Amino acid sequence: MSRVHDMGGRYGDGPVNPEDGAIYAEDWHARALALTLAAGALGQWNIDTSRHARETLPPKDYSRFTYYEKWMAALANLLVERDMITLDELQNGHARGQAPSDLVDRALRAEVVAGVLASGSAYDRLATPPDFAIGDRVRTRKRAHNATVPGGHTRLPSYAAGAVGEVVLRHGAFVLPDTNAHGQGEAPEPLYAVSFSACDLWGDEGSATDEVILDLWQSYLEPA
């Protein structure tokens, strides 16, 4: 039921290597990041679509790919899925011709890069007032899954599914990734920071003093 990216709490990964501190281990990593941002600026998908494209890589590829290889694979898949490039072009490594002019007109120009990056893209929306108050006890969905699209995108990690926590922050209403990733609209909902005791998540392995806080949308939660 889960996907390979949903790895919080997983065993077997070994130690973290703090020496691996470079932002790009290879020159092409920087190029991959820039290419992803430039392609995203064409406006043919949103951040949730893009995340979902990485999550739906075959588990074998997701696990063996380094970070930016995942980005490149997901980008290639999205470009083909949106008919922006063809399989033939992908195989040949060259274009068979220019893209339609309306799309070419949207290409990000070097002189506007700084402004575009600085203007960001806000995800908060005006929407219904929140159902839950700070201090309320809430229970997350029993399974970490998209409620309407089988295998679809969601931001409830498996390790926090079916758990009871406490609302600690109310962030306002935000675009719902579960719909936005699938072209079903932004469907904004109240978003909360919910705190879970480490013992409730991990049993005896958790320290009684510690907690994990996740940002969760209202439809992921019910009163507990």
Two tokens at 90? 């992908």
147 binds other proteins (CB under 8 A): no
Chain-centroid distance, C-alpha 24: 20
Q: Give the relative orientation of helices 27-40 and 67-81 as an angle to the nearest 10 degrees.
A: 30
Q: Which residues pair with 170 in a beta bridge?
A: 192
| Minimum CB distance to other proteins, residue 205 (Å) | 7
Residues 6 or more apart whose CB falls under 8 angstroms from that of 218 comprise: 130, 131, 132, 189, 190, 191, 192
- Pick between residue 34 and residue 134 the one whose CB is nearest to other proteins: 34
**C-alpha R_g of the chain:** 20
**Mask for 35-64, x = binds other proteins (CB under 8 A):** x-xxx--x----x---xx-xxxxx--x-x-
126 binds other proteins (CB under 8 A): no
| Minimum CB distance to other proteins, residue 144 (Å) | 10
Two tokens at 22? 């470079």
Site for other proteins in 64-123 (CB under 8 A): 66-69, 72-77, 79-81, 84-85, 87, 89-91, 93-95, 97-99, 103-104, 107-110, 113-114, 116-123
157 binds other proteins (CB under 8 A): yes
